[in-house]
Amino acid sequence: MQFLFEDHVLDIDRRELRRGTQQIPVGPQVFDLLVYLVQNRERVVTKDDLLDAVWSGRFVSESNLTTRINAARKAIGDSGEEQRLIRTVPRKGFRFVGVVTCEAADVKDVRGSTATTPMPLPLPDKPSIAVLPFVNMSGDPEQEYFADGIAEDIITALSRLPSLFVIARNSSFTYKGRATDIRAVGRDLGVRYVLEGSLRKGGSRIRVTAQLIEGETSKHVWAERYDRDIADIFAIQDEISETVTVAIAPAIAAAERRRAMRKPPENLDAWAAYQRGLWHFDQVTAEGNRLAEQFFQKAIDLDPNFAGGYVGLAYVPHGSGDRFWDDRSERGDAFERTLGAPSSSVRPG
């Protein structure tokens, strides 16, 4: 198995790090640290995670860990100031944010040379999204900054939602100016959803389109068009970015419910069990509440650290027996107060 990023190859089988044809010398712990960060790039890796994976749980001082992180950054041409590939998340840990391609060099072609087969990234348990740079179709180069600004603002806003795993800008913007296949993007970045959009300008008006697509199937989940008069360009950018972000959350929530309902009950993970519970909870019936309680409990059993199952169980009694909440907005508001999120997105805290 090999991991490719920028001009580097991280070869697990040979335990080699190469830049082009040049082999880069790295110590065993630094190599293992790099492999762990790359393999778990869909999340922030804590210090405890690194200690368990690289040092088998042995005590390691902060300075020793910092030295190894700096050595890993230096080996791949990164630095603590730039943090282009290995990012420090204050008070949380570290995350590898570069674009990675997985390949398995185990297939021989007809000439006897080794062929590589791309390996898709594993999808996170919770919904994940990549926001591609919006395409400037106006023919006006000045609108390039406006298009990029909308995509960047949407990435920033979505990153505040704890229920979403959002690909960093420096990874999604590598697709700028390139013809993209949504399934390939989903595979390469390890995301379930891809947001793409375009911008056109005509006279004093501007049109922005956005569409949310499921990476595995290329099916459209949501799409919208925004026509605005250009007055304050930054105000329009803020308005469209906020409007798109607000619309995406419930669209993904609805898609996740449908996805969870399609999965066999015996194959559910904690997130899917939670979503099934929410679907039954929203039926506002005694039977729905009974089933919701079962699925919320299953979410807890599958992952005791997942808060969603506990939140669901806390609210199920409010809808049991003769005490149904007929006003669904009141039920949603209760989840919003507990989870600290828009009720339409139904996020675990």
Residue 137 sits in the same domain as residue 235: yes
- Is the domain of 274 the same as that of 228? no
Per-residue model confidence (pLDDT) at position 317 = 67
Least confident range of 121-125, 178-182, 230-234, 314-318 = 121-125
Number of domain units in the chain: 3
Classify residue 106: in a domain, yes or no: no
**CATH number, domain with residue 210:** 3.40.50.10610
Give the model confidence (pLDDT) of 203-233 as tens digits.
888 899 999 999 888 888 999 999 988 877 7
Give yes or no: residues 213 and 302 share one domain. no
Tokens of 82: 């730039």
Q: Are residues 209 and 240 in the same domain?
A: yes
String of DSSP letters for 134-194: PEE-SS-TTHHHHHHHHHHHHHHHHHT-TT-EE--HHHHGGGTTS---HHHHHHHHT-SEE
Centre a 10 Å sphere on the Cβ of residue 217 and count the other Cβ atoms it contains: 12
pLDDT of res. 120: 54
Selected residue with higher pLDDT from 46 and 260? 46
Q: pLDDT category, 318, cuts 50, 70, 90?
A: low
Q: Is residue 119 part of a domain?
A: no
Q: What's the CA angle centered on 199, arms 197 and 202, to 5 degrees?
A: 155
In a domain, residue 153? The reply is yes
Q: Is 309 part of a structural domain of the chain? A: yes
Among 60-69, 151-160, 322-331, the minimum mean pLDDT is found in 322-331
The CA radius of gyration of the chain, in Å to the nearest whole number, is 23
Banded model confidence at residue 314, pLDDT cuts 50, 70, 90: confident
Average pLDDT, the chain: 80
115 inside domain: no
- Which of residues 254, 284, 316 is at a domain's end? 254
Of 234, 254, 274, at which residue does a domain stop?
A: 254
- Cα 272 from Cα 263, distance rounded (Å): 8
pLDDT at 267: 66
Q: Is it the case that residue 333 has pLDDT exceeding 80?
A: no
Boundary residue ending a domain (254, 280, 308): 254
pLDDT band, residue 266 (cuts 50/70/90): low
List the domain range (segments joined by +) for residue 231: 128-254
55-69, 123-137, 246-260, 318-332: the lowest-pLDDT one: 318-332
143 lies in some domain: yes
pLDDT given at position 76: 94
> What does the pLDDT read at residue 237?
86
Q: Among candidates 246, 251, 270, 250, which has minimal Cα distance to 260?
A: 270
pTM of the complete model beyond 0.75: no
Question: Is 295:303 a contact under the CB 8 Å cutoff?
Answer: no
Question: Look-up: residue for tokens 């405890």?
Answer: 48
Compute how many other C-beta atoms are within 10 angstroms of the C-beta atom of residue 122.
11
Overall average pLDDT of the 132-140 stretch: 87
Q: Give yes or no: residues 50 and 133 share one domain.
A: no
Q: Which residue has the higher pLDDT, 257 or 77?
A: 77
User: What are the helix (H) ranges across the chain?
Assistant: 28-39, 47-54, 62-75, 143-159, 169-172, 182-189, 233-262, 270-281, 286-302, 307-315, 328-339
**338 vs 170, more confident:** 170
348 inside domain: no
Helix (H, G, I), strand (E, B) or coil at 8: strand
